[in-house]
Chain A
């Protein structure tokens, strides 16, 4: 296997992805990811020098419009999905000490 994912890389990916894995899950993920990256290495057979990376297949433009409110007051509808609410607010854990 050409791509060996070590514990430090896995730790870093966990921070980026905001995921916490059990020891068992982490070992499986290391193996899976290494295997997928080996497979993705197939792309290195291709000479892509001078090829522009293509994000969108169709011409994508910025779409501008006037900033006009059209949806009215959706406060109560939005708060109905809150995991925890207090009056008209979302309750969240302390964000700074």
Chain B
């Protein structure tokens, strides 16, 4: 067994027992990166020397008893839209190619306090706008199971790095599914917390009312520990929730007896791949067998989530990305005539196609004459979507469905038809609009061996229920898989 086979919390236990060191773990990670990066491109920045120095510092603190948390000593990858002091943060964009933040995001500082050791910064869709990690200025990340396919996005680098053991755990961000969908495509666990659970301070904003930082990990236990490490009330984020429960590790118990789980019929209709449907419904049966009460219901509003999202998210993006103007940091065009020409040329050369597409749509829906018909209409729709979820959570503890309508598509298939790509977000996007927590847990494979994820959705601040159900499912499935293996052998 290689050190890279350990999950994060397991590795930390071995380090604290003195069986391994944080330095050995980091060396193993970089050896793996050396083998895999040329083909898979999970990272934008990963500097071995500085990572080993960080690991050595943490190892000393562990030996001195100053660091003893559940993730102490564990190498972690960080999505490149989280500011990291002194380490380049590009958002996978040319416009931030030379940007080195003078401060770290609160989530990154929390990681350091927990004794996790940063490896580097992972690849993503430019400014987190995309579902495939193909819009990065720094090249395309490949799917770990089939390099001819996408890893999903926008946190594709983080999800692929976890699946390839180029890290032990990673942080991603999720605005419309950007943690859950790549986790599903890569066969790992991804958790999008309730809006306000993790501070967004230092997360480069895409759509501020929807963005949340969350963990991407090898298993549910690690997701609970990593979320517990990064979640905090933060006065630097005015939308940070002051009174939320954040002791997620307590929910790591195998118990779903009496839990009420709703399966929305409208998540299993037209457009869903037959193999995905079968595997996800089998996962629901596993939870039923474990004692949960599982029932179908009609959620409603499902087809309106994607158009409402692309109105709200692009509107916010057009405003948030105004700051990239070539004045104080980032790329500035070399050749211009006057101030306004400098702005226009800098932005036109600095942003990629998908980002420009969204900034333009967002500028349009916010412009006078169209604001009421498009933007306010979308915000009213959001209120109705929230109401549909409120009604569902009056009946159920959790909602269970697929993460995405299909398994990972081939490289190059999605970008030629953006609308089709946007429709792939249909099961994840409403969760962001309603501010809810959601988790993607691997539940099987299709005939090509591509991973399929099950999504569990909870009410606001019901992360512990979500983790308890996901943990129970994972344990039960591992037991059943082990048994099936024995039966095949005999």
The residues of A with any CB-CB pair to B shorter than 8 Å are 9, 12-14, 16-21, 25, 29, 32-33, 35-37, 39-40, 42-46, 48, 51-58, 60, 62-63, 65, 71, 74, 77-78, 80-84, 90, 92-95
21 contacts between A and B (CB under 8 A): A13-B363, A19-B360, A32-B418, A36-B310, A36-B361, A36-B419, A43-B378, A48-B380, A48-B381, A51-B380, A52-B383, A53-B379, A54-B383, A56-B239, A57-B382, A82-B328, A83-B331, A84-B332, A92-B327, A93-B339, A94-B338
Instruction: List 10 A-B pairs, minimum CB-CB distance, nearest first.
Output: A53-B379, A77-B102, A81-B329, A57-B435, A83-B332, A48-B380, A54-B383, A16-B363, A17-B363, A20-B344
Contact A57 B344 (CB under 8 A): no
The distance in angstroms between the C-alpha atoms of A36 and B423, with both chains bound, is 11
**Whose C-beta in chain A lies nearest to the C-beta of B370?**
A37
B235 within 8 Å of A (CB atoms): yes
Binding-face segment, B16-24, B213-221, B300-308: B300-308
Minimum distance in angstroms from B416 CB to a CB of chain A: 12
B425 within 8 Å of A (CB atoms): no
B196 within 8 Å of A (CB atoms): yes
B367 within 8 Å of A (CB atoms): yes
Q: A17-B318, A42-B303, A65-B235 are in contact. Are A53 and B329 (CB under 8 A)?
A: no
Contact A93 B348 (CB under 8 A): no
Residues of A within 8 A of B306 (CB): 39
Q: A18-B347, A42-B304, A44-B377 are in contact. Are A13 and B357 (CB under 8 A)?
A: no
Contact A20 B348 (CB under 8 A): yes
The DSSP consensus for interface residues of chain B is helix
Minimum distance in angstroms from B297 CB to a CB of chain A: 20
Number of contact residues on B: which range applies?
Answer: 35 or more
Residues of B within 8 A of A81 (CB): 98-100, 102, 328-330
Contact A35 B460 (CB under 8 A): no
The distance in angstroms between the C-alpha atoms of A90 and B328, with both chains bound, is 7
B110 within 8 Å of A (CB atoms): no
The distance in angstroms between the C-alpha atoms of A65 and B235, with both chains bound, is 9
Q: A33-B361, A33-B364, A92-B339 are in contact. Are A51 and B383 (CB under 8 A)?
A: yes
Residues of A within 8 A of B382 (CB): 53-54, 57
The distance in angstroms between the C-alpha atoms of A62 and B434, with both chains bound, is 21
The distance in angstroms between the C-alpha atoms of A48 and B377, with both chains bound, is 8
**Whose C-beta in chain A lies nearest to the C-beta of B326?**
A83
Q: A43-B377, A43-B381, A81-B329 are in contact. Are A58 and B339 (CB under 8 A)?
A: no
The distance in angstroms between the C-alpha atoms of A29 and B434, with both chains bound, is 30
Residues of A within 8 A of B328 (CB): 78, 81-83, 90
B209 within 8 Å of A (CB atoms): yes
**Whose C-beta in chain A lies nearest to the C-beta of B379?**
A53
A-B interface contact total, Cβ < 8 Å: 162
B351-405: which residues lie under 8 A (CB-CB) from chain A? 351, 356-357, 359-367, 374, 376-384, 386
Given contacts A43-B377, A57-B195, A58-B239, 15 further A-B contacts (CB under 8 A): A17-B318, A17-B347, A20-B348, A21-B348, A21-B356, A29-B360, A39-B419, A40-B378, A43-B311, A43-B378, A51-B384, A63-B238, A78-B328, A92-B339, A93-B336
The DSSP consensus for interface residues of chain A is loop
Q: A43-B307, A63-B238 are in contact. Are A13 and B360 (CB under 8 A)?
A: yes
Residues of B within 8 A of A13 (CB): 360, 363-364, 367
The distance in angstroms between the C-alpha atoms of A37 and B370, with both chains bound, is 11
B281 within 8 Å of A (CB atoms): no
Minimum distance in angstroms from B367 CB to a CB of chain A: 6
B71 within 8 Å of A (CB atoms): no
The distance in angstroms between the C-alpha atoms of A62 and B238, with both chains bound, is 8
The distance in angstroms between the C-alpha atoms of A74 and B235, with both chains bound, is 20
B345 within 8 Å of A (CB atoms): yes
Contact B380 A53 (CB under 8 A): yes
Query: Contact partner of B344 among A18, A44, A74, CB < 8 A?
Result: A18
The distance in angstroms between the C-alpha atoms of A12 and B239, with both chains bound, is 33
**Whose C-beta in chain A lies nearest to the C-beta of B432?**
A57
Minimum distance in angstroms from A48 CB to a CB of chain B: 4
Contact A43 B304 (CB under 8 A): yes
The distance in angstroms between the C-alpha atoms of A92 and B362, with both chains bound, is 27
Minimum distance in angstroms from B424 CB to a CB of chain A: 14
B342 within 8 Å of A (CB atoms): yes
Residues of A within 8 A of B209 (CB): 55-56
Q: A53-B379, A80-B102, A90-B327 are in contact. Are A20 and B345 (CB under 8 A)?
A: yes
Residues of B within 8 A of A25 (CB): 356
The distance in angstroms between the C-alpha atoms of A87 and B366, with both chains bound, is 39
Q: A43-B308, A51-B384, A54-B382 are in contact. Are A18 and B325 (CB under 8 A)?
A: yes
Minimum distance in angstroms from B448 CB to a CB of chain A: 30
B270 within 8 Å of A (CB atoms): no
Minimum distance in angstroms from A92 CB to a CB of chain B: 6
